[in-house]
Structure 1
Amino acid sequence: MAKESFDKEIQFLRMLSLAGGAYSRQQFAERLGISVHTFDKTLRNLKEIMNTVYQRLPQDQGKELSEGLRYNYYESADPLLLFLFRAKSLKESESIRLSLILTALQHKSLTTLEVMDACSENMPDTFSLPDEKTIRGDLKYLEEIGVILKSKGSRPYGYKAANDLVTRLSDDELIDLYDFVDIMANTQVPSVQGYLLRDNLKKALRQRGLDVTVVEPYLYKYHYHSRILDEAHLYTVFLAIQQRKKLSFLYLSPKRTKSYASKNTNPLFERETEGVAVIVIPLRVIYDHQYGRWYLVAHNSRQGIMKFRMEGLTQIEQEDTVEEAEFAHKLTNLEEQLRYSWVTDTGRSMKVIARFHNPDSFGPNFVKERVLSQGQWGTITEESDSTFLYEIIVNGLFEIKPWLRSFGSSCEVLEPASLRREFIAEWKEIQAYYEPV
């Protein structure tokens, strides 16, 4: 799938999952910045991708696009948004060939020529037969990512599937491993790799006939579905940072009404886009747990430090390599600016002091435990059994404000006075909504 097409499908699925059936076709197309015809074409393309991804599953395990859109909180570890990751990086012929190789290596070790013969026997008539060079490249790729193992000894080398971890586990151990991966995939970021591992473990359970015995052990799941889509660009950005490469992309601010802009190659149909084309040196990726958002913090030659929401990045391309000394200087400068940043704010530093109250003086102090785990570099000073002071120096008030507000009546802002007045005004406004009728 082309990168530009993948950008469109990311935004398409984001709106489908978040808005559901709230928009008509016309409204959906306008919001996305495409025509109704393109909307219908993209929807057909998504259905074809889903059919390709699940075509080898039995009928009762297959999926329809409409099933993916049906929201089920506790089974959302198999979200619709994930299937793009299974389809975006492989051509159809390559996907089929790798599947045949893995199937052939499941139960016995085979040499390269034996693998080629197995692929040739089972390759569909619509695809050309692979040659030895192609098979060797596939085996090298699968070995590098740890899916298969090469036998030790003399040539010709044999290869076998690296599934000893699963096959050597007892039923109870396999279920415990599945439960652990399920919990970690739903609470840690990045999470896509964990979801894909969870799918493989679920297949192993199904092969043993254990899938019906699996009960969700962990009902609370920390979900932001759009976070999963943002991970599509995450590893591209990480690789650019690691290799000190510049990135060019078209940025569509989430504040604008359009969330996608097509890459027009025909000059007759060129139009002015609402996005901003930028070239930056990527320096840091930051995740905001409060809202489930990924941020790219980068340096631009004209504007200096810039911050981008990952969901607005489209048409990403790697550019020239930056000198190591220049990259290190810009990264050091950024780290100094982010020293007191709650998330990404690089504004003026100021002191915040808040008093926290434990609503249950005789029970566990859950408020204090949360402040200790989430309060970053802030310090705590005990006042009494039921109250304590929390003090922190932070860049700006905009990013820490929602966190303080989330404690409700258990948090009283003392300093700065301007923030205290804002909270008083907000709570008075809320109180007005609940006056006696």
Structure 2
Amino acid sequence: MARESFDKEIRFLRMLALAGGAYSRQQFADRLGISVHTYDKTLRYLKEMLSTLQQGGPQEHGNELSEGLRYNYYESADPLLLFLFRAKSLKETETIRLTLLLTALQSQERTARDLQDICSEQMPVDLPLPDEKTVRGDLKYLEEVGVIVRLSGGRPYRYIAANDLIDRLSDDELLDLFDYVDVIANTQVPSVQGYLLRSTLKKALIKRGYHPDTMETHRYKYHYHSRILDEAHLYTIFRAIRHCRRLHFLYLSPKKGKNYASQNTNPLFERETEGVAQSTLPLRVVYDHQYGRWYLIGHSPRLGLMKFRMEGLTQIEEGEPVSEEEFARRLAAAQAQLQHSWVTDTLRPVQVVARFFNPDRSGANFVRERVEAQGQWGTITEESDSTFLYEITVNGIYEIKPWLRSFGSSCEVLEPAWLRREFIAEWKEIRNYYESVREDF
């Protein structure tokens, strides 16, 4: 899939997940910045891709793309957005060819010549037939990623699918592994690899005769659909960080409300781009649990430390390398600036002091447990049997403020005084919303 096309599909699926059926075709296209014709073509392409990747699966997976996103709200264990990862980096011929190879190697060992014959017999007539060099290249790739194994012995080499782990597990062991992967994939970041493993295990259980409903022992409400879409950029960014290379991309700031910018490849339809061309040395990736957002932290020779919301990155390309000494110097400077950042803020450090109230009822102290788990480097001091103090120095209060507010009446901000006054004004405003309700309403 072309890079521009993948950018468009990411933004298309994000809006579809967030808006559901709230927009008409014209409104959806206008919001995305494309024509209605392009909207129809993209939706048709995604549906075709989804049906291709789910061939042979359970009948219920044949739902329409938009219907699945709208009505399967709690079915986050099989997020429809995930299917894009299975096809984003493969051409159509590669997708069909690799599928044929893996299917043939599931049941018995075969040589490259055997697999070439199978591809020649089963490839669609409108697609070119692979030669032996192409098949050997595919086998080398599949062996490198651990999908197949080459058996011991001389030439010609024989290959078989790497199903030893699954095949050696009993039914109970396979169910336990599925449940474990199910929980981890829904609670950890990054999660895409976990979802792909979960999908593989689910197919193995279905192959053993288990009904899909038997495996759904956990239900999740997946809040951040766009999170797994943004993970598509992680591996490109991590590779650039590992090799000390700059990144060049077109950045669409979420604040401007622009969701997509096409590449101006046709001079007849050339128009001014909505994004800003950026070049940065990637240093770190930060994840915000509060809002489910990924951030890229980089360095610009002209502007210094730069912070980008990952959902705004498009048309990413690796650039020129820098020396390891320069990279280490830039990284150390960034870490010093972000030392007291709740997420990515680099404003003036502020000391925040808050009083937390323990629950009145006996049992688990969920307030204390949450502060200990999420409070980062803040310190906790016992004040009384019913309260404790929490102190932390952070770069600005804009990122920690929603976290403090989320505790409701269980949190009282003490310092700084101006932040306390802001909270008082906000809670008074909320109280006023309820005073106007008539008693006989």
Cα distance, 1:113 vs. partner?
2.1
1:197 is matched with which residue?
197
- Is residue 2:280 matched to residue 1:293? no
Contact residue 361 and residue 385 of structure 1 kept, 8 A: no
Cα distance, 1:128 vs. partner?
2.4
Q: 1:35 to 1:74 in 2, by over 3 A?
A: closer
1:14 is matched with which residue?
14
Structure 1 stretch 228-237 or stretch 263-272: which is displaced more?
A: 263-272
2:351 is matched with which residue?
351
Contact residue 186 and residue 223 of structure 1 kept, 8 A: no
Cα distance, 1:75 vs. partner?
1.4
2:48 is matched with which residue?
48
In structure 1, what is the Cα distance between the partners aligned to 2:67 and 2:431? 42
In structure 1, what is the Cα distance between the partners aligned to 2:44 and 2:221? 31
Cα distance, 1:199 vs. partner?
1.1
Cα distance, 1:62 vs. partner?
3.2
Contact residue 350 and residue 396 of structure 2 kept, 8 A: yes
Contact residue 187 and residue 221 of structure 1 kept, 8 A: no
1:278 is matched with which residue?
278
Q: 1:213 to 1:71 in 2, by over 3 A?
A: closer
Residue identity opposite 1:180 in structure 2: Y
In structure 1, what is the Cα distance between the partners aligned to 2:116 and 2:320? 39
Residue identity opposite 2:277 in structure 1: A
Q: Deviations over 1:177-198 (max 9, x none)?
A: 1111111111111111111111
In structure 2, what is the Cα distance between the partners aligned to 1:212 and 1:268? 51
Q: 1:190 to 1:25 in 2, by over 3 A?
A: same
Secondary structure at 1:413 match in 2: strand
In structure 1, what is the Cα distance between the partners aligned to 2:430 and 2:290? 22
2:80 is matched with which residue?
80
Q: 1:27 to 1:221 in 2, by over 3 A?
A: closer
Secondary structure at 2:343 match in 1: coil
Structure 1 stretch 293-302 or stretch 115-124: which is displaced more?
A: 115-124
Q: Deviations over 1:151-182 (max 9, x none)?
A: 22433322111111111111111111111111
In structure 1, what is the Cα distance between the partners aligned to 2:285 and 2:259? 21
Secondary structure at 2:108 match in 1: coil
Q: 1:60 to 1:407 in 2, by over 3 A?
A: closer
Q: 1:392 to 1:304 in 2, by over 3 A?
A: same
Q: 1:410 to 1:170 in 2, by over 3 A?
A: same
Residue identity opposite 1:309 in structure 2: R
In structure 2, what is the Cα distance between the partners aligned to 1:128 and 1:274? 39
Secondary structure at 2:285 match in 1: strand
Contact residue 290 and residue 403 of structure 1 kept, 8 A: yes
2:187 is matched with which residue?
187
2:39 is matched with which residue?
39
How high is the sequence identity, in percent, across the aligned residues?
A: 72
| Structure 2 unmatched ranges of 5 or more | none
Secondary structure at 1:173 match in 2: helix
Q: How does 1:278-427 map to 2 (within 5 A)?
A: 278-360=278-360, 362-427=362-427
Question: Which TM-score applies when normalising by structure 2?
Answer: 0.95
Residue identity opposite 2:390 in structure 1: Y
Aligned residues: 437
Cα distance, 1:211 vs. partner?
2.6
Q: Deviations over 1:84-132 (max 9, x none)?
A: 1111111111111111111111122222222223332322322222212
Contact residue 252 and residue 258 of structure 1 kept, 8 A: yes
Residue identity opposite 1:258 in structure 2: K
Secondary structure at 1:74 match in 2: coil
1:163 is matched with which residue?
163
1:247 is matched with which residue?
247
Q: 1:219 to 1:43 in 2, by over 3 A?
A: closer
Secondary structure at 1:125 match in 2: coil
Structure 1 stretch 419-428 or stretch 25-34: which is displaced more?
A: 25-34
Structure 1 stretch 264-273 or stretch 163-172: which is displaced more?
A: 264-273
Cα distance, 1:221 vs. partner?
4.5
Contact residue 341 and residue 395 of structure 1 kept, 8 A: yes
Contact residue 13 and residue 81 of structure 1 kept, 8 A: yes
Q: How does 1:137-176 map to 2 (within 5 A)?
A: 137-176=137-176
Structure 1 stretch 377-386 or stretch 70-79: which is displaced more?
A: 70-79
Q: Deviations over 1:268-326 (max 9, x none)?
A: 32222221111111111110000000011111111111111111111111111111111
In structure 2, what is the Cα distance between the partners aligned to 1:24 and 1:297? 36
Residue identity opposite 1:33 in structure 2: G
Residue identity opposite 2:175 in structure 1: I
Secondary structure at 2:71 match in 1: coil
In structure 2, what is the Cα distance between the partners aligned to 1:61 and 1:44? 17
Cα distance, 1:224 vs. partner?
0.7
Q: Deviations over 1:22-56 (max 9, x none)?
A: 11222211111112222222222222222322244
In structure 2, what is the Cα distance between the partners aligned to 1:102 and 1:220? 32
Cα distance, 1:372 vs. partner?
0.4
Cα distance, 1:222 vs. partner?
4.8
Q: 1:415 to 1:207 in 2, by over 3 A?
A: same
In structure 2, what is the Cα distance between the partners aligned to 1:84 and 1:194? 15
Residue identity opposite 1:308 in structure 2: F
Q: Deviations over 1:354-384 (max 9, x none)?
A: 0100122533211111100000000100111
1:101 is matched with which residue?
101
Contact residue 68 and residue 79 of structure 1 kept, 8 A: no
Residue identity opposite 1:236 in structure 2: T
Structure 1 stretch 290-299 or stretch 98-107: which is displaced more?
A: 98-107
Residue identity opposite 2:398 in structure 1: F
Structure 1 stretch 114-123 or stretch 77-86: which is displaced more?
A: 114-123
In structure 2, what is the Cα distance between the partners aligned to 1:300 and 1:196? 35
